[in-house]
Structure 1
């Protein structure tokens, strides 16, 4: 078969707008009586975790910016220009 596989899942854009739409779709399903409460609760729980992660990354980025302004130096736990947290940094190997 040419083109996309029949069972291939298309990943949606990972944006706050998509997350908001997903949550609103679940609310509409519940209100119409066609929704699954357990699924809606799972979606809400996952959304809360995603939002928590975004908040943490924003706080991290703001803290790094404040450190840079005070010290003039980049923090060693930042990846490039992003605000991605490095959760496990290997300490430098010291030669004896």
Structure 2
């Protein structure tokens, strides 16, 4: 035999039970790769949008919590006392308050 020649042997019929079983269950289908790619990209984008929305909500909640903590530590509202007294009633002076106390 010369280099490059291939010896071929003719097999009349294959009798391999494993191959026969596989051929019975073989399913051939046409695949639309472009449509599958579009669907996959849509699904990935939906997951990204949901994650971004959850992160945005968590960031807003964290910012709100930080603002509340900052307001709690602030001295700005220390002397801003809201009085629940009637606005029509006259205010008592310091001497009157002392007399009421005793």
Classify the TM-score, shorter chain: 0.3 to 0.5
Instruction: State the TM-score, normalizing by the size of structure 1.
Output: 0.39
Higher relative contact order (CA 8 A, sep 6+): 1
User: Which one has a bigger Cα radius of gyration?
Assistant: 2
Instruction: State the TM-score, normalized to the length of structure 2.
Output: 0.36
